[in-house]
Amino acid sequence: MIPLKNLYESGEQKMIPAVLLYAFHEDKVLMIHRNLMANDFHEGKWNGLGGKHEAGESALECAIREFKEESGCSTSNDQWKWTGHLHFPNFKPHKNEDWSVTVFRCELRKEQLAEVMEKNKEGTLQWIPSSEVLKLSLWPGDRHFIPHVLNKTAFNGTFYYLNGELNRFICNPIFG
């Protein structure tokens, strides 16, 4: 039997560790409308904030750094609560990238709201009523995991996209 070649070990396929962040205040969630960056892979979509890990950085450290960079708001370790994990096999096929995404949520304190910027280099930030989030122009898979985020239900999901379209998915709550 010939052993199968591991594309990660050979470097042909990359796994990108990232975070996706949902900050809440009262019954609103901070979202970014990706509308300011030319040739943005997420152009026109609404997303939570977040981004890629830096080398040697934990998911929580990445969450705090990315939230500060993208919103202007400083947060602490104890504010962020792990909510779920997402896997996007071959999400960026032109780069041979799979994405492994840790999802966090937090409640911002009233005094932190003044720190939140109106926009960053990627798009405009807006507080959206929780009941309205699923009406936004989201990635199709987001409609399946965001309800877990909104309901504070831990979850695990894998979303397969083909040519920017959701091909299939698995997304389940985690019960402990």
pLDDT in tens, the chain (176 residues): 666 788 888 889 999 999 999 999 999 999 999 999 888 888 999 999 999 999 999 999 999 999 999 999 999 999 999 999 999 999 888 888 999 999 999 999 999 999 999 999 999 999 999 999 999 999 999 999 999 999 999 999 999 999 889 999 999 999 86
Q: Using CA of residue 61, residue 56, residue 157, residue 168, what is the dihedral sign?
A: positive
What b/e readout covers 138-168, taking b as 16+ CB neighbours within 10 angstroms? bbebbebbbebbbeeebbbbebbbeeeeeee
Residue 21 in any domain: the answer is: yes
Residue 2 in any domain: the answer is: no
SS3 content of the chain, % helix, strand, coil (to 5): 25, 40, 35
Q: What is the pLDDT of residue 37?
A: 85
Residue 53 in any domain: the answer is: yes
Q: Which residues pair with 60 in a beta bridge?
A: none
DSSP 3-state of 110:
helix
pTM for this predicted structure: 0.94
Residue 53 structural domain = 12-164
CA pair distance 129, 109, nearest whole angstrom: 17
Q: Which residues pair with 81 in a beta bridge?
A: 105
Q: What is the pLDDT of residue 175?
A: 82
Residue 3 in any domain: the answer is: no
Number of domains into which the chain is organized: 1
Residue 54 in any domain: the answer is: yes
CA pair distance 145, 157, nearest whole angstrom: 7
Look up residue 26 and give its DSSP letter.
T
Question: Are residues 31 and 47 in contact, defined by beta-carbon separation less than 8 angstroms?
Answer: yes
Residue 5 in any domain: the answer is: no
- Amino acid in the structure at residue 156: N
Residue 20 in any domain: the answer is: yes
Q: What is the pLDDT of residue 159?
A: 98
